Chain A
């Protein structure tokens, strides 16, 4: 007998549905529906009270109309009336209507809640079931407010029927998810845990779902569920397939419950009680064993159910990440699935492997499947599966296979589905950067990327290439050559033109020696693309041209001609026009020195988190990922955050000390402010010596290291997790160092292993002895380690302290240089003067004396020295606070005005500083990548008082040092700039500038200082 009586439904409904089905056109259908709606409306509004049956019929019709995609804005009231009917069928349809067409009318909600309250109190299990369903389906806050207190009572009451318990558990779960704050924890929680022992497997399933969600937020309160869940699981797993009768699904005992229990266990770390743990391991092994048994049925449902349990078991194994044996078995099992003929299994295997790849124990095992995965990428017919393959390749990538993986991804990109191209581009860009050993490979990869999928290469990607090329001088020549070659293709993507324009503008000189890429050829090549490009690219190219004027004086006239052409000077786009005007002026009025300073090479970029990675994260969407994924992400961030060798040296280079900066500025024509080569070399050495397992030096540790040269105690390293303190004493050739590791978090560090690494040649010279420390560091605790040091002979390098530990599932790796330097072993000696000279004179061998004579770069002029010292303050121009800036500018101004002969270069310095500030300022990160440093943009639209002050400061210097002529032409230029400002915005600054130019002193003197003082103050 069919469980649904087909015969005696509602005849009117059936007729209506048939009518709709017989409609020949959409219009006819709409007409019929409108007619019906009008009919129902009039019936509802009519004076005659409708009986339950007709109400039910009409409500049902409304539901059908709603399903067809029409808005239903009435009928709620009738549905609510049905709720209070005594008839089950009427009540049922009423509840259905309400939960499908939820309405937020508060009056209605009050009525609904009333009806639900009555039904809950009715003690009629069928009615209670309906009411609970309704609460769960609507799940609104109002409902939570009304019933969150009531439902736990129903759930744990002894006399509640099983089916009601089931509904109550899920209902509570729904309310907790929607409004956790409204569900009070209480006595009921412990009784809920015991539902795991219930006779009825349906109740157990529902309770497991509920406990899983509750335990995620309140792990302590539900801790006891672990052992219960394990024993329940083991009973299911070991039962014969017929034991559980109804809950056996295609010969698999209670697959749903097993999956839920395994999910619940994933909320907790591996059980501590060895008995429970053993039992769980046994269960997991049994599940893995069953996968190898021949299937009990050929049906796909059988294998589905079996594998659902298996995959969940594997997730649990990965989550626990503690039993290497199980992990390897899990990995092998997934490996088998990778080649399974069932597409679903291949998909899930790829997905699970992704998480497995982040476990230390199994990363290597995952890597062995690389060929299968690459094959999947090439041959899978299904885009979802290919997408997983891409994800897995990304997760399993490391230094050893990066080249292969990146190459495969690139070749896949040519045929990839449009929907996932952008993501692949980002992934390739990140991998290429992260694992680049050879930066020429990196440049090639990215250029290929632009060639293959230019449209999908976002700004971040090409910004990043430029940042890396600028920060690494060993790759600049190669990059220039490669982009030059790439640009020769008849059709190249605009992004390539951008990269090409930028790189040639900076480093075109490196390849200009080759007659095939002479300056003029470079320029012509770029200019041939100019007209095909969008405005931002053209703007960038104009900047390239002005940089060419500086790099190659021989093409100056050609470029000036281009800039002077009407299509530039009178361009409709104001940005292009302005650039053309400014650049043209600049190229004609400025002397080569000024040009050189203003258009100097870009300084290295400060190292921060890769913007590409940030983009990928954003694309992947925020939160709502499982913990595992979160952990994986953290891990990848971690790897990137602790930079690989190259970025590390770049970061050292990008934060030059103020003194180095001053020297760089003081030096005549642009001395590239590159890294001191030794520093980079040193770091690279450290890496080549130690295996790849050792993290690169933590950023900032270099600074700390320097502090310890003359200091024995203090904090060596600190980040959010860990603090390392030192206390050391040295006597003669011996020393003892106490290292204190402080856990700053509230979570345990596991597998905490600090190791001391000495480079090969250092090992012979320095003897270090230490004992291993306890592998767990409790939250907030401090661990101490003693290192005994013996200096055997002189040494230069310092040993490296590498610390590895696990924090909340993620692996952490920190390296710092340990401040053991030769001077620690120096001994003062008292000596009479004659003894000293006697010794001194003994040093007569030729090797014992070194003398070198060098020429001073600048005359020793006290005034200039003083000026330079003061100019050191110009480094403060990098400050972001406006107040500080103005203060600095005031000082500079005072300096410039009071020095009778302000050194000319200083003027350039200040100028360049101010302009740099404009370019590198935090306000506009883009400006930095789009504009060449220097002159450029001080007069652009966001002209602000600060820069105006900067210009005022400049004037005394400029006029005093460059002579009237230059001063006037600069002034003329300034007024052009002023006039190009919009009327409203320009007024203040215009006045200011006019004031400046009017009071322009031919010789900067104290008199003029007074006249401009108020200006400075008024902007403060």
Chain B
């Protein structure tokens, strides 16, 4: 079973954190930090497996990770998973992200956090592998997308318009138009003769 899926960048900033085993929030943060330190000190072309940190359960758990450009993808799994299989799964996940976002980069993960979660949900569910077929996953995402579009299109338009108006930030309209001392000097008109 997969205990946790952690994605963070080269500086340890978490970009996607998903725990399938219940940990209190502060422990979750500590696990992310500990894992980052464990993974960071490893060279790039050595093996992709290591024993889990003390917080997540020590040597009974393995950390399986891949490093792509600026991001680390770390899966923490127990002994019932195949190491190489998980490594493939990470690849499947990343390739799917790539297909969905077209050349995925760190920024996509930041700004579309919810979408990344949805893609992940199609791959892993409750710590178990749900689907490994990339085409299937992408198809699911497209279906979701269509749904969203249809909701976001016609039906959502009125609601959106309302909230847009509500939230409109008009520049403040002065209540009293204070014109100050009006000292318009009426030029002396030449008298009619």
Chain A residues engaging chain B, CB cutoff 8 angstroms: 2-6, 8-9, 13-14, 17, 21, 51-54, 60, 63-64, 66-69, 71, 87-89, 92-93, 96, 100, 102, 126, 132-133, 135-137, 139-140, 163, 166-167, 170-171, 173-174, 177, 201-202, 205-206, 209, 212, 246-247, 249, 255-256, 259, 263, 301, 304-305, 307-308, 311-312, 343-344, 346-348, 381-382, 384-385, 387, 620-621, 624-626, 629
Chain B residues near A625 (CB, 8 Å)? 60, 79
27 contacts across the A-B interface (CB closer than 8 A): A3-B99, A3-B141, A5-B148, A67-B14, A89-B151, A96-B121, A126-B143, A136-B128, A171-B126, A174-B126, A174-B128, A206-B130, A249-B88, A249-B92, A256-B88, A256-B129, A308-B83, A308-B85, A311-B83, A312-B82, A344-B47, A344-B83, A347-B47, A347-B49, A348-B83, A385-B47, A621-B57
Chain B residues near A249 (CB, 8 Å)? 88, 92, 132
Which residue of chain A has the shortest Cβ distance to B126 in the bound complex? A136
Question: How close is A46's CB to chain B, nearest CB, in angstroms?
Answer: 12
Taking chain A's interface residues, is the majority helix, strand, or loop, or is none over half, making it mixed? helix
Chain A residues near B79 (CB, 8 Å)? 624-626, 629
Which of A3, A21, A177, A346 has the most chain B CB atoms closer than 10 A to its own CB?
A: A3
Chain B residues near A137 (CB, 8 Å)? 20, 125-126
Question: How close is B155's CB to chain A, nearest CB, in angstroms?
Answer: 8
Question: How close is A515's CB to chain B, nearest CB, in angstroms?
Answer: 53
Q: With contacts A246-B135, A259-B82, A343-B47 known, is A53 near B160, CB below 8 A? A: yes
Stretch in B69-77, B108-116, B170-178, B182-190 with 4+ CB within 8 Å of A: B108-116
Which residue of chain A has the shortest Cβ distance to B86 in the bound complex? A308
Question: How close is A450's CB to chain B, nearest CB, in angstroms?
Answer: 26
CA distance A171 to B134 in the complex (A): 21
CA distance A79 to B49 in the complex (A): 37
Chain B residues near A67 (CB, 8 Å)? 14-17, 113
Q: Are B156 and A53 in contact (CB under 8 A)?
A: yes
Interface flag for B101 (CB, 8 Å): yes
Beyond the given A4-B112, A249-B92, please list 10 additional residue pairs across the A-B interface where CB-CB is below 8 A.
A2-B100, A2-B101, A53-B159, A67-B16, A166-B131, A174-B125, A174-B126, A201-B133, A381-B43, A624-B57
Q: Are B159 and A4 in contact (CB under 8 A)?
A: no
Q: Are B136 and A5 in contact (CB under 8 A)?
A: no
Q: With contacts A301-B91, A346-B47 known, is A174 near B111, CB below 8 A? A: no
Chain B residues near A170 (CB, 8 Å)? 125-126, 128, 130
Chain A residues near B108 (CB, 8 Å)? 6
CA distance A818 to B148 in the complex (A): 82
Q: Are A308 and B129 in contact (CB under 8 A)?
A: no
Q: Are A9 and B112 in contact (CB under 8 A)?
A: yes
Q: With contacts A137-B126, A174-B126 known, is A69 near B14, CB below 8 A? A: yes
CA distance A2 to B100 in the complex (A): 5
One digit per residue, 1 when the CB lies within 8 angstroms of any chain A CB and 0 when it does not, for chain B 51-62 equals 100000111100
Chain A residues near B152 (CB, 8 Å)? 8, 89
Q: Are B82 and A311 in contact (CB under 8 A)?
A: yes
CA distance A205 to B141 in the complex (A): 20
CA distance A3 to B112 in the complex (A): 12
Chain B residues near A304 (CB, 8 Å)? 84, 87-88, 91
Q: Are A3 and B113 in contact (CB under 8 A)?
A: no
Q: Are B47 and A202 in contact (CB under 8 A)?
A: no
CA distance A93 to B59 in the complex (A): 35
Question: How close is A281's CB to chain B, nearest CB, in angstroms?
Answer: 21
Chain A residues near B59 (CB, 8 Å)? 620-621
Chain A residues near B88 (CB, 8 Å)? 249, 255-256, 301, 304-305, 308
Which of B89, B136, B138 has the most chain A CB atoms closer than 10 A to its own CB?
A: B136
Q: Are A174 and B127 in contact (CB under 8 A)?
A: yes
Which residue of chain B has the shortest Cβ distance to A247 in the bound complex? B133
B1-49: which have CB < 8 Å to A?
Answer: 1, 14-18, 20, 22, 25-26, 29, 32, 42-43, 45-49
Question: How close is B79's CB to chain A, nearest CB, in angstroms?
Answer: 5
CA distance A8 to B148 in the complex (A): 10
CA distance A384 to B64 in the complex (A): 12
Q: Are A102 and B99 in contact (CB under 8 A)?
A: no
Chain B residues engaging chain A, CB cutoff 8 angstroms: 1, 14-18, 20, 22, 25-26, 29, 32, 42-43, 45-51, 57-60, 78-80, 82-85, 87-89, 91-92, 99-102, 108, 110-115, 117-119, 121, 125-136, 138, 140-145, 147-149, 151-152, 156, 159-160, 162-163
Q: With contacts A624-B60, A624-B78 known, is A4 near B126, CB below 8 A? A: no
User: Of A9, A132, A263, A381, which one neighbours B111 at CB under 8 angstroms?
Assistant: A9
Question: How close is B151's CB to chain A, nearest CB, in angstroms?
Answer: 5
CA distance A246 to B138 in the complex (A): 12
Q: Are B140 and A163 in contact (CB under 8 A)?
A: yes
User: Of B29, B84, B114, B131, which one neighbours A305 at CB under 8 angstroms?
Assistant: B84
User: Of B58, B117, B125, B145, which one neighbours A3 at CB under 8 angstroms?
Assistant: B145
CA distance A170 to B129 in the complex (A): 8
CA distance A36 to B2 in the complex (A): 33
Q: Are A88 and B144 in contact (CB under 8 A)?
A: yes
Which residue of chain A has the shortest Cβ distance to B142 in the bound complex? A3
Q: Are A139 and B126 in contact (CB under 8 A)?
A: yes
CA distance A177 to B22 in the complex (A): 14
Chain A residues near B29 (CB, 8 Å)? 69
User: Of B32, B82, B138, B159, which one neighbours A308 at CB under 8 angstroms?
Assistant: B82
Q: Are B92 and A384 in contact (CB under 8 A)?
A: no
Chain A residues near B46 (CB, 8 Å)? 343, 381-382, 384-385
CA distance A841 to B145 in the complex (A): 116
Q: Are A171 and B159 in contact (CB under 8 A)?
A: no
Q: With contacts A53-B156, A174-B128, A202-B136 known, is A60 near B20, CB below 8 A? A: no
Q: With contacts A88-B147, A102-B22 known, is A255 near B85, CB below 8 A? A: yes
CA distance A246 to B26 in the complex (A): 41
Question: How close is A131's CB to chain B, nearest CB, in angstroms?
Answer: 12
Q: Are A96 and B114 in contact (CB under 8 A)?
A: yes
Q: Are A348 and B102 in contact (CB under 8 A)?
A: no
Chain B residues near A9 (CB, 8 Å)? 111-112
Question: How close is A216's CB to chain B, nearest CB, in angstroms?
Answer: 10
Which of A4, A5, A66, A102 has the most chain B CB atoms closer than 10 A to its own CB?
A: A4
Which of B43, B110, B113, B131 has the most chain A CB atoms closer than 10 A to its own CB?
A: B131
Question: How close is A161's CB to chain B, nearest CB, in angstroms?
Answer: 12
Chain B residues near A621 (CB, 8 Å)? 57-60
Q: Are B159 and A51 in contact (CB under 8 A)?
A: yes
Q: Are A92 and B132 in contact (CB under 8 A)?
A: no
